[in-house]
Structures are given as structure tokens and as C-alpha cells.
């Protein structure tokens, strides 16, 4: 092997590092993204998403890259680093893509989205999901969720626009005090102009996303992705036709939902109701 390649450091954005190596070797060989995609029967757009770390490199792709570039088992070996995620397997790729998105649009039908959850709310959710887990296991899950929420520490990026079903406001996850804190956290972010939230009220009736939760992610230099969330399962989609269908569904949701101003007023009112309930003897 002509290159002196070292294993990637798993503490330093391994997916982005492996993508950078892929781009380096592709450009060194004088290949376009489309040309590299052909022997793998994938599009040049997918190669681009691998290079910027939006999509996860699969072992069969890594083996082919090693064959094309003559890098022995470098790419295949470092795929093992990408498996070391703090998130469940069905969500790991979506979470890592989320970290590079410039815009996140999400419809949440039952729960406050993970990015907007407080520690107490997240703990109540994970305990409901894992009733026999140890406190240490729950602590690790909560820690990972709060780590994701640090995306909002940046004053403007990513743009986050959530359509929150009224059911998520009315279901008292963790009790009245937890819900009052959770809703005030969201309204605080709205008042600081950090996020956009619309409530889809019960009065809206049937709507375009009654099938379940939906997340759309947009990037500066990669195609949009859609993520469909289910019970201990998830599906990340990059097919343009499918993504367009979900974009339309989200746009229809926004048209049916309350305005951000009316949504803010409703959430503040519901938070006050929860706070009042918590103060009752």
C-alpha cells in the first residue's frame, strides 16, 4: 500500500473524518462523484453525502472503496468506528445527519421532540420506554438526548421549525410540574426567536401526517433527507420522490396548524394550567 493510513480517532467526528478521507482519495484518483458511484450502483449525490458525513458508510461500500483506491482494508476497518454511537441503531444515522443540518422541520404527534426536551421530561420518557432499566442506564440515555439539544446553543443554526400536535401538550408526561417546565422551555426558545413552533390543534381534524412522526433535514451541500420515526424503529430516506412527498405533507401541516403567535399563547396557557395543578394540595 502506497499510503501511510492510520485508524481514525473515534473521538473526533469519525463519520466526517472518514468522509474527508473518501473525498481525498477520490480527488487524488481524478474521479468525479458520479464516476465513483457507478461501480457501487449509487448516485453521485450519495457519494457527496458520504464525503460530508451526512450519510453513514456501509461495509459493502467501504470494501469497494478499498478495492478502487488500493487502500487495503482502511475504509472497511474504520467502518467499525462508525458503529460506536451513543444512539440506538435505528436512530444513530439520523442523529448524526441532524448534527450537520442547516434546517430541521419536524412533526411531533405525541411527544415533545428530543431536541426540545428538558432533562425531567426526557427522563420520564425513557423510564416509560424502559421500566426495568437501571438508573445508570436511564442517565446515559438522558445524557445523550441533552447532548443533541446542544445544537440549539448556536444563536441561529440550524433553523428548527416544529409542528407540535396538541396531544403532545395535553399528555402529562412526568406529571404537571414536569410538563409546566417542558412547555416553558419551548416558549422561552420561541420568545428568544431561536425556534419556530406551531401547534396542530385537535380542531384541525384529519391532516396530512396522521400516519406518524416526520422529520425533514436540509443541508448546505447535500440533498434533503426524511426520517420516519416508529416504536423502537426508524427509517432514513433520501429518495427524491419520497422526500418530496413528505415535504408536501409537512407544508400541509403548517397550513393547518395555528400560527406561531397563537401557538405561543396556547402553550403558555397550558403551562400555567399545569403549574396551577401542581400547586393544588
Query: How far from 266 is each of 27, 81, 241, 250, 269, CA to CA, in Å?
Result: 53, 45, 35, 21, 5
User: Please, which contacts does 191-197 make with residues 24 or more away whose CB atoms are closer than 8 Å?
Assistant: 191/264, 194/152, 194/155, 194/160, 195/116, 195/152, 195/160, 195/161, 195/162, 196/159, 196/160, 196/161, 196/162, 196/260, 197/161, 197/162, 197/163, 197/164, 197/260, 197/263, 197/264, 197/267
Query: How far from 256 is each of 90, 97, 252, CA to CA, in Å?
Result: 30, 28, 6
Q: What is the pLDDT of residue 140?
A: 92
Listed in sequence order, the residues at least 6 apart from 225 whose beta carbon sits closer than 8 Å to its beta carbon are 54, 94, 97, 216, 217, 219, 236, 237, 238, 243
Q: Do 221 and 279 touch, CB atoms closer than 8 A?
A: no
Q: What is the pLDDT of residue 81?
A: 67
Q: What is the pLDDT of residue 85?
A: 63
How confident is the model over 247-256, as a mean pLDDT? 97
Cell readout for 220 is 448546505
Q: Do 180 and 271 touch, CB atoms closer than 8 A?
A: yes
Q: What is the pLDDT of residue 231?
A: 81
Please indicate whether the domains covering 14-82 and 89-279 agree at the CATH topology level.
no
Q: Do 188 and 135 touch, CB atoms closer than 8 A?
A: no
pLDDT digits (tens, 9 = 90+) for 39-50: 999 888 889 888
Instruction: Tell me the sheet residues that pair with 229.
Output: 213, 234
Percent of the chain with pLDDT over 70: 92
Q: What is the pLDDT of residue 133?
A: 93
For 148-187, b/e burial (b = at least 16 CB within 10 A) is: bbeebeeeeebebbbbbbbebbeeebbebebbbbbbbbbb
Q: What is the pLDDT of residue 89?
A: 66
pLDDT value at 6 more than 70: no
- Tell me, rounded to whole angstroms, the distance of Cα 251 from its chain centroid: 19
* Local confidence band at 8 (pLDDT 50, 70, 90 cut-offs): very low
Cell readout for 135 is 438508573
- 14-82 CATH fold: 434 Repressor (Amino-terminal Domain) (1.10.260)
pTM: 0.76
Q: Is 131 exposed, middle or buried (0-12, 13-18, 19+ CB in 10 A)?
A: exposed
* Local confidence band at 92 (pLDDT 50, 70, 90 cut-offs): confident
Cell readout for 21 is 478521507
* Local confidence band at 99 (pLDDT 50, 70, 90 cut-offs): confident
How confident is the model over 233-253, as a mean pLDDT? 93
How confident is the model over 100-117, as a mean pLDDT? 96
Q: What is the pLDDT of residue 223?
A: 87
How confident is the model over 177-184, as a mean pLDDT? 97
pLDDT digits (tens, 9 = 90+) for 158-174: 999 999 999 999 999 99
DSSP reduced 3-state for 76: helix
Q: What is the pLDDT of residue 83?
A: 62
Query: Cα dihedral angle (187, 188, 191, 196), rounded to 10 degrees?
Result: -50
Cell readout for 177 is 410540574
Q: What is the pLDDT of residue 208?
A: 95
CATH code matching the domain that covers 89-279, chosen among 3.40.50, 3.20.20, 3.30.870, 1.10.1660: 3.30.870
The mean pLDDT of the chain is 89
Domain ranges of the chain: 14-82, 89-279
Amino acid at each position: 500500500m502506497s499510503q501511510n493510513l492510520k485508524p481514525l480517532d473515534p473521538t473526533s467526528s469519525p463519520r466526517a473524518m472518514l468522509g474527508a478521507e473518501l473525498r481525498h482519495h477520490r480527488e487524488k484518483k481524478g474521479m468525479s462523484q458520479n464516476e465513483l458511484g457507478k461501480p457501487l450502483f449509487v448516485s453521485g449525490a450519495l457519494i457527496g453525502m458520504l464525503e460530508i458525513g451526512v450519510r453513514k458508510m456501509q461495509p459493502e461500500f467501504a470494501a469497494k472503496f478499498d478495492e478502487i483506491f488500493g487502500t487495503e482494508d482502511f475504509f472497511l476497518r474504520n467502518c467499525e468506528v462508525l458503529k460506536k454511537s451513543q444512539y440506538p441503531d435505528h436512530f444513530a444515522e439520523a442523529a448524526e445527519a441532524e448534527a450537520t443540518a442547516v434546517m430541521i422541520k419536524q412533526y411531533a404527534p405525541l411527544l415533545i421532540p428530543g431536541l426540545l426536551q428538558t432533562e425531567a421530561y426526557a427522563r420520564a420518557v425513557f423510564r416509560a420506554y424502559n421500566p426495568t432499566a437501571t438508573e445508570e442506564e436511564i442517565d446515559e440515555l438522558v445524557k445523550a438526548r441533552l447532548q443533541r439539544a446542544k445544537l440549539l446553543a448556536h444563536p441561529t443554526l440550524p433553523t428548527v421549525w416544529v409542528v407540535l400536535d396538541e396531544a403532545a401538550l395535553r399528555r402529562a408526561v412526568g406529571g404537571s410540574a414536569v410538563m409546566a417546565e417542558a412547555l416553558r422551555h419551548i416558549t422561552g426558545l420561541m420568545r428568544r426567536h431561536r425556534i419556530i413552533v406551531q401547534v396542530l390543534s385537535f380542531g384541525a381534524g384529519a391532516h396530512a401526517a396522521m400516519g406518524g412522526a416526520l422529520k425533514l433535514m436540509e443541508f448546505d451541500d447535500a440533498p434533503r433527507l426524511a426520517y420516519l420515526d416508529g416504536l423502537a424503529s426508524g427509517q432514513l430516506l433520501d429518495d427524491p420522490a419520497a422526500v418530496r412527498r413528505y415535504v408536501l405533507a409537512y407544508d400541509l401541516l403548517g397550513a393547518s396548524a395555528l400560527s406561531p403567535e397563537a401557538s405561543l399563547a396556547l402553550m403558555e396557557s397550558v403551562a400555567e394550567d399545569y403549574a396551577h395543578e401542581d400547586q393544588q394540595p
